[in-house]
Chain A
Amino acid sequence: MAKEKKLEVKDLVVSFSTVDGKVQAVRDISFDLHKGETLAIVGESGSGKSVTSKAIIGISSPNALIESGEIIYDGQDLLRITEEDFHKIRGDKIAMIFQDPLSSLNPIVKIGTQLTEAMILKNKASRKNCRKEFNQMLSDLFANINKAENNANVEENKTLAKKFDEFNIVAIDLENKYNASVVAGEEYLPNADDLLLKAEKGVKADFVKMSKSFVKDFAKCQHEYFITKETIAPIIEKAKANHNDKNGFSLDVLVECVKAGKEAVLNAQKLTKPNYFTIGYYVYAHPEDDLSKYTVEELNKLSRKVLDDEFMLSFIDKAVIAMKQSDKDSCQGKRDLIDLIANHRHIFEKETLDKKECSEAYKTLCAGVEASIDKLVVVKDSLAYTFKYSFKGAIDKYFDAVKNNPKEQAKYEKSKAQWEKLASKGKTPDWKVTPPAIIDLELTRKTILMIFDRLVAKYETALQDEAYDYQQGALNLVEFFKEKARGVVDVVTPARARAKALKLMEEVGIPEPAARFKQYPFEFSGGMRQRIVIAIALAANPDILICDEPTTALDVTIQAQILELINRIKAERNLSIIFITHDLGVVANMADRIAVMYAGKIVEYGTDKDIFYNPKHPYTWALLASMPDLETKEKLEAIPGTPPNMIFPPIGDAFAARNKHALKIDFEQQPPLFKINDDHYAATWLLHPDAPKVDPPRIVTQRIARMKAKNQELQRVANIEEVATAVEEKPAKKAPAKKASKKTEEKGGNQ
């Protein structure tokens, strides 16, 4: 899997100022989230899981202090962008499913309105945004072309740009129409099955009404390349005549019609799909030509050829020229920037920084970075884009500290003197002296230098590997344009939003969505409310989904449904998910990687297999030991005591006090993250080479052994099946896999 990083959290520290003192909720955690993976964060309540997720989505409570760290998404540092910018990300790009469904729904607004509201608003914004990005990229592209050609054919290029823009929109319009009918066909199938089942089992139902809705639904499938009018019309006529018949309604006729309709849809799904990107161009360029004389295959071939000959080849050639130019510029920019940084470095290497000098350096360096960014590369380079923000943040922090440190120190001295005065009188004050919040100037200065070093190192490696595939880059650009143009054309009307919402409600398992659409949140049970919340989060089609204990309040069947739903949507949309939970069973199902958190720190970090089959941290052992599975007989090993008070976090390992295997050093010094393999890290002194060897609790080792034996057995059975079927009949390729899974299912039921 290509590991494209979607989200990076670096050295995040969050604390809360409360009456009793500063609660250190999250203490220096870092993790990455890759594209299309699920990262599970596991821990007890109060371990800082939710605080982390809230910091990511920018809804930390008002008394939260984000002391340091970076959260990088799409080239932006989410901790430093303005609220205005965050509006574009929150809910749209990063969505969240909350723990408590009741508090995240508005009690006085109907469910339907709540579901569609965001869809309509976000659609408006995203269309604008897509249009902007499309135009920006196109103008960047042609600016580069013009530069490369020394403004030789400006007019020609302009028409080319215009052409691309216009034909793309025609194509997408056509494609939307086609997709609507395909989707209608997909929706029709389960309804048809349901109706046939009811008719077969003789269930009492309003079949006349069903017949009417069948006619309505089925008519939507009509499209010249999907189900043609000739096929659809007689079926609909027949059904209509049937339910309009005054002599009485015949169920048999309806069943006949539905069966015919089902067959038509199934047949239509096997047809070749028209390639609308090329057809769109053909329609745009040759509006006089009659398309109906071609079959789909012919049309695809013809339009492809026309597009390539008349437009695309020249466009790609131009794009390649532009990319070469832009790459050349950006390489130059990078080299310049490296020099610039080398020149300006001395300003920040001084003992004390000068404010004026710094702000000037900031301006020149930011301009340099801006020039070094290759704008035509679709995947954004997070370091270059965040340089500005992290640099500014560090400078601001430094000068704030210069201003505030003496004040803090004075405050501390004052309160300390007061305390001592009272103490000398023999009284014990009921308040405590809070240590001064002094920011280390030296450290901040080093951070700035580190920001430089990181960027320079990155650019130097980038300059070394020159081989860039321009052809591929140009194709990527075309894809980018296609996607953005789709975003522009994709209008969500209230009616369409309603249809989409109803479909979503059905997807998340709400029966009779049409009736439920008009109800208020209090009319739903807890599980139903949670599903609504999930539907709302999914409605925006986000990039990253944060699930904060989404299934804790639900029962097993619904939980399984919801997890399946999230997994399916993840696969379909290539979503990245951060999944927060304390239920390890759920984690095993969902996660690709797992981070175990305790007292604001990540204590173990690894792939699902590492954590479940080879856990290393005593806390992970304790979590695994305290949950019963289906074969547990012996007494559960509960974790004694409660998590530590985070106003006064322990000096050593936070888990030491509740840990049977704690060493002496655990109480004195915090363990670093020990590396076990490339993906697996754990923060425990037990992994130190000098530490005594401690085995996980028996309940855990036994379970792991049992799981391994079971999986081997399953594997063996699957293999036997596969061999057997392969011997019996060679061409049946899919059969073994299916059989194996069926066997698994039975086995699962037996446990």
Chain B
Amino acid sequence: MEENKQVILKVENLSQYFKMGKRYLKAVDHVSFEINKGEVFGLVGESGCGKTTTGRTIIKLYNATGGNVYFEGQRIVAGIHDYKEAIKVAKEAYKAKVQQGIATEQDKIELAEEVSKQRENIKKAKYDHKYCNRDHARKCVQELDEKWLPILQKAQLKHGVGSDEYKKLHAQYKHDRRVAKNERIVNKIQMIFQDPIGSLDPRMTVREIISEGLVIKGVKDKELIDQQVYDVLEKVGLVAQHANRYPHEFSGGQRQRIGVARSIIMKPDIIIADEPVSALDVSIQAQVINLLNELRHEMGLTILFVAHDLSVVKYFSDKIGVMYYGKMVELATSEELFAHPCHPYTKALLSAIPLPDPDYEKTRTRIVYNPLRDHDYRTEGPTMQEVAPGHFVLCNSEEKARFIKEIEGK
């Protein structure tokens, strides 16, 4: 990996809890990773480990419980759970001191400071989470104004307010301004869904499905919309005539292509591909993967690729994160991960990949992961630690020493 790559998406301690009666289900629990521009980041794990939830939380389909997501330096997702927890901890510590009778005036002041600091954080987080789009839109409008106002002024001086030239330019400006006003930063991140049948509205034509994003954004120029729809259709390997058809008239692979077209028409920087090939036949799988690969090079896309088929992930991704029950357990470049898997869960996962090789399959033995047996966290809990450059594993210091030895030993 080159050093000077720009970080486009930064996920920091992201948590997503769901309420289940009185308890919380920790679907995603303090997950952190970074994606560089133009990279494919693969997220793997068994079903129910929170891969999809992570993707959906990044794109703000859920409101994050805790942690932050930065897109090009701008915070777009912010949760408040961690700050609340910090307040709780501080208050409890003070209470304990009071009970023991050793609390001083200094402690009280410190508590008040801590609480006010965290409350400030909460306020900021809430604001960012809610208004990141508005701020972005304002910025866009401002940029647009800066660009257009001099032109308009010039035209006014040259032709006068009532002239046709001025009116035409003004209309153009109005249209662009409306689009800019509806600009949302999360639109730069688009999603491809797993189920190509379930994610397309059966009552809309392909044109309507693909152009829906543009329409919501405020584009009213029919010709422009059509032009763009035909462009993306061509890009994903369909033809312009397909725009008037309905989803049921397509085969599985073509439907998934429509899903891809729908996401790239917004000219995103990042695509979150949530198991885009899991529901497809092998031959069609290859078509869709090739398509994504071409688009990626052509449009400079960054892709967060969520999947459970490890051979596909290995083929497609630069970096891979392995998740287990809401936690990221290992994070490394794909070569490194497959060459030196450290975490016992990763080893178990890799040992389960079936290969098209009968002789090898007859001898393959699967490793079973049992967290209780494989770890000893009585004295020291696990944290994310770097065992080799760019290779992070969730472990404690004793395990870390062992992993480093393993890597060097090989």
Interface residue ranges of B288-315 to A (CB < 8 Å): 289-290, 293, 308-312, 314-315
Whether the Cβ atoms of A749 and B289 lie closer than 8 Å is no
Q: A585–B364 contact, CB under 8 A? A: no
**Which residue in chain A gives the minimum CB-CB distance to B289?**
A636
- State which residues 202-253 of B face A: CB under 8 Å: 251-253
Give complex CA distance A749, B315 in Å.
16
Mostly helix, strand, loop or mixed at chain B's interface? helix
Interface contact B354-A589, CB-CB below 8 Å: yes
**A268-276, A618-626, A646-654: which lies at the B interface?**
A618-626
A744 touches B365 (CB 8 A): yes
- Interface residue? B112 (CB, 8 A): no
Residues of B close to A635: CB separation below 8 A: 290, 293
B349 proximal to A (CB < 8 A) = yes
- Check: A264 CB closer than 8 A to any chain B CB: no
B111 on the A face (CB < 8 A): no
Q: Which interface class (under 10, 10 to 19, 20 to 34, 35 or more) fits A?
A: 35 or more
B13 at the binding interface (Cβ < 8 Å): no
Tell whether B175 is near chain A: CB-to-CB under 8 Å. Answer: no
Interface 0/1 of A194-207, CB less than 8 Å to B? 00011001110000
- Of the candidates B286, B341, B358, the one whose C-beta lies within 8 Å of that of A749 is B341
Given A741-B365, A749-B351, the answer on whether A588 and B282 have CB atoms closer than 8 Å is no
Q: How far is the CB of B213 from chain A (nearest CB, A)?
A: 28
Which one of A89-97, A216-224, A390-398, A559-567 is at the interface?
A559-567
| Nearest CB on A from B287, distance (A) | 4
> Does chain B have a CB within 8 A of A512?
no
CB <8 Å contact, B356 and A638: no
A627 touching B311, Cβ below 8 Å = yes
- Indicate if the CB atoms of A632 and B281 lie closer than 8 Å: no
Query: Is the CB of B372 closer than 8 A to any CB of chain A?
Result: yes
- Most interface-central of A197, A554, A627 (chain B CB within 10 A): A627
Q: Does B361 contact A (CB under 8 A)?
A: yes
**What residues of chain B lie closer than 8 Å to A750, measured between beta carbons?**
339, 410
Q: How far is the CA of A560 from the CA of B376 in the complex (A)?
A: 27
Contact with B along A713-751 (1 / 0, CB 8 A): 010000000000000000000000000011011001111
B359 at the interface (CB under 8 A from A): yes
A133 close to B (CB within 8 Å): no
A197, A527, A609: the one within 8 Å of B47 (CB): A527
In the bound complex, residues from chain A placing their C-beta under 8 Å from that of B284 are 44, 638
B47 touches A588 (CB 8 A): no
Instruction: A526 to B52: give the CA distance in the assembly, Å.
Output: 14
* Among candidates B282, B293, B339, B349, residue contacting A583 with C-beta atoms closer than 8 Å: B282
Any A CB within 8 A of the CB of B87: no
How far does the Cβ of B245 sit from chain A's closest Cβ, in whole Å?
15
The B-contacting residues of A in range 554-612, CB under 8 angstroms, are 554-561, 563-564, 582-589, 591, 608-609, 612
A744 to chain B, nearest CB (A): 5
Contacts of B22 in A (CB 8 A): none
Q: Does B46 contact A (CB under 8 A)?
A: yes
Contact A632 B315 (CB under 8 A): yes
* Contact A707:B314 (CB < 8 A) given known A198-B372, A622-B283, A744-B363: no
Q: Which of A588, A609, A741 has the most chain B CB within a 10 Å cutoff?
A: A588
Our pick among A198, A608, A622, A629 for the contact of B311 (Cβ within 8 Å) is: A629
Assembly CA distance A627 to B287 (angstroms): 10
A526-B47, A627-B282, A745-B351 given as contacts; is B361 within 8 A of A589 (CB)? yes
Check A201–B376 contact: CB distance below 8 A.
yes
Determine if A45 is an interface residue (Cβ-Cβ < 8 Å): yes
> How distant is B88 from chain A, measured CB to nearest CB, in Å?
22
Verify if A429 is at the interface (C-beta below 8 Å from B). Answer: no
Q: Is B378 an interface residue (CB 8 A)?
A: yes
Contact between A630 and B355 (Cβ–Cβ < 8 Å)? Answer: yes
Q: Is the CB of B360 within 8 A of A707?
A: yes
Within the complex, what minimum Cβ distance (angstroms) separates B177 from chain A? 44
The answer to whether B282 and A582 touch across the interface, beta carbons within 8 angstroms, is yes
Q: How far, in whole Å, are A554 and B47 apart by their CA atoms in the complex? A: 8
Q: Is the CB of A582 within 8 A of B281?
A: yes
| Cβ A44 vs Cβ B283 within 8 A | yes
Q: How far is the CA of A608 from the CA of B355 in the complex (A)?
A: 13
Residues of A within 8 A of B290 (CB): 635-636, 638
The contact of B46 among A45, A555, A563, A637, by CB within 8 Å, is A555
9 tightest Cβ-Cβ pairs between the two chains A and B: A555-B308, A585-B354, A560-B352, A628-B315, A626-B286, A638-B286, A608-B358, A638-B287, A639-B283
Residues of A within 8 A of B (CB): 44-45, 197-198, 201-203, 525-527, 553-561, 563-564, 582-589, 591, 608-609, 612-613, 622-624, 626-630, 632-633, 635-639, 642, 703, 707, 710-711, 714, 741-742, 744-745, 748-751
Spell out B's residues near A (CB within 8 Å): 45-48, 251-253, 278-279, 281-287, 289-290, 293, 308-312, 314-316, 338-339, 341, 347-361, 363-367, 372-373, 376, 378, 410
Q: What 18 additional pairs, Cβ within 8 angstroms, besides A588-B357, A636-B289, A707-B360?
A: A202-B378, A527-B46, A556-B308, A556-B353, A557-B348, A559-B352, A560-B352, A563-B354, A583-B354, A588-B358, A629-B356, A630-B314, A635-B293, A703-B356, A711-B357, A744-B364, A745-B367, A749-B351
